[in-house]
Amino acid sequence: MTLPLPPQKSQHGLKRVWNAFFYSLEGLRQGWHEPAFRQEALLSIVMLPAAFWVGQTWVEVALLIGTVLMVMVVELLNTGIETAMDRFGPEWNAFTKRAKDMGSAAVMISLLFCAGVWGTALYRWSAL
């Protein structure tokens, strides 16, 4: 038995790209409902412009901006993992816990990396 394809899978070319753009916007809207993503997004409003002030070269600016965006991307992926795991049911399951814990660890590593890059850049900036 073959299941029918979802409507978006039958689209091609620019129409598919156009629709994918709106699916992505919906993903951002859904992410906004997550407190952690909302906090990171609000903090990025300060950090992204600050990267141009703190960074001494275009490479430093790109790295500062990249680490902030990476945290937000990893947070969205973690939320996606948690949502997918919750689809199977609210009861405790070792595999669900493992998946959620690894997603959380990925967020923590991205936050530590971001803090390390920004801390180093701020230290160098303050030494000038």
Active-site annotation holds for 75: yes
Provide the domain limits for residue 72.
35-126
Check if the beta carbon of residue 62 is closer than 8 Å to that of residue 44: no
Confidence grade of residue 121 (pLDDT, cut at 50, 70, 90): very high
- Please, which residues have CB within 8 angstroms of residue 28's CB and are 6 or more apart in sequence? 76
pTM given for the model: 0.85
Residue 110 lies in a domain: yes
pLDDT tens-digit series, residues 57-95? 999 999 999 999 999 999 999 999 999 999 888 888 899
pLDDT of residue 1: 65
Q: How far is CA 67 from CA 40, 46, 57, 95, 127, in A?
A: 12, 14, 16, 29, 22
Residue 27 lies in a domain: no
Total tally of structural domains belonging to the chain: 1
Average pLDDT over residues 12-30: 91
Residue 99 lies in a domain: yes
Residue 63 lies in a domain: yes
Catalytic residue, chosen from 26, 40, 75, 82, is 75
pLDDT of residue 90: 80
- Please, which residues have CB within 8 angstroms of residue 16's CB and are 6 or more apart in sequence? 8
Check if the beta carbon of residue 77 is closer than 8 Å to that of residue 103: yes
Q: Give the domain CATH number at 57.
A: 1.10.287.3610
| Separation between Cα atoms, residue 48 and residue 68, nearest integer Å | 7
Average pLDDT, the chain: 92
Confidence grade of residue 8 (pLDDT, cut at 50, 70, 90): low
